[in-house]
Amino acid sequence: MTNMLNDFLSTRKQKIEEALPLYIKELQTPKSLQESMIYSLEAGGKRLRPILVLAVLHTYNKPEELGLATACAIEMIHTYSLIHDDLPCMDDDDLRRGKPTNHKVFGEAIAVLAGDGLLTQSFALIANDPTCSAEQKLRLISELVKASGAEGMVGGQVADMEGEAKKLSIEELQSIHENKTAKLLAFSIIAGAILAEAPEEDINKLREFSYHVGIAFQIRDDILDLEGNQDKLGKPVGSDTVNEKTTYPSLLTMQGAKTKLEDHITKAKQLIKSLSVPSELLEQMCDLIAKRDH
């Protein structure tokens, strides 16, 4: 990882992590609910989605402050989805990033409601953002619903559950990941472009770019589940095999999955190089996703 990228990631991660809990601390709400929401917001993670919003603004030479509220809204949605996914009736996970999951600490009822609270609040972050226009905010909200709701992440989660222990085709697997993971990653990039007032032609290219990055992200996830380091991942490896999940390596062999990962990264880079602005930072983030070890 280059020094420039390393520096960008660590400074922006800090900025996001400072801002995130403030949106919840200011709320008039029961203490237990507030603590539960903040617990999961502060439970770590790469903050890849919110950093992408800032990276796109940086690419277009616009103040990154324009993206802070939207970046935090996306991280709240990502966090709520992890809380609900970990519930006993879903994946029934006790640990997340090496820490007890929300319902293990606060109980299931509070965990459900903390997720509901974070999801709801995320829309206020955008609606009340004083740094952008009414039209931008409404476009962001409309795109965020598509990326995170029944037509995106929530629908992908249902398809993923229903596809478990079933032999899926590569098209079915791809569609699940597109909805479950790629659409919210893509929204992070597109949100940055909307806020940067990028040309519509660039927004279309960034949408296609995001698609390839999102699929690459998921292939890397599947590879890490087989080849990763348990300590770095903060979760046990090999769980997909135990759960008989269809993965890219199980469908394509490990070598096939790695080749497919390279293909998507190559296509993503071609697209990003054709933008109206230099895109070195986004290219480097693309490589990071392809080579990440956790």
Q: What are phi and psi of 228, to 5 degrees?
A: -75, 175
Residue whose CB is less far from a second copy, 1 or 161: 161
- Find the shortest distance in angstroms from Cβ 238 to a second copy: 23
8 Å CB contact between 181 and 156: yes
Residue placing its CB nearer to a second copy in the complex, 1 or 150: 150
Residues that bind a second copy (CB under 8 A): 24, 27-30, 32-34, 37, 80, 84, 87-90, 107-110, 112-113, 115-117, 119-121, 123-124, 127-128, 134-135, 137-138, 141-142, 145-146, 148-151, 154-155, 157-159, 161-162
How far is the first Cα of the chain from the last one, in angstroms, to the nearest whole number? 14
Task: Pick the closest to residue 201 from 277, 135, 140, 134 (CA basis).
Answer: 277
CA 204, distance to chain mean position in Å, is: 20
Work out how close the CB of 168 gets to a second copy at its nearest, in angstroms, rounded to a whole number. Answer: 14
Nearer to a second copy among residue 175 and residue 284 (C-beta): 175
CB nearer a second copy, residue 86 or residue 202: 86
DSSP E strand boundaries for 89-137 = 95-96, 99-100
Give the separation between CA 194 and CA 198, rounded to whole angstroms: 6
Nearest distance in Å: CB 205, a second copy: 23
Provide, rounded to whole angstroms, the least separation between the CB of residue 103 and a second copy. 8
Separation CA 195–CA 67 (nearest Å): 7
Q: How far is the CB of 170 from a second copy (least distance, A)?
A: 19
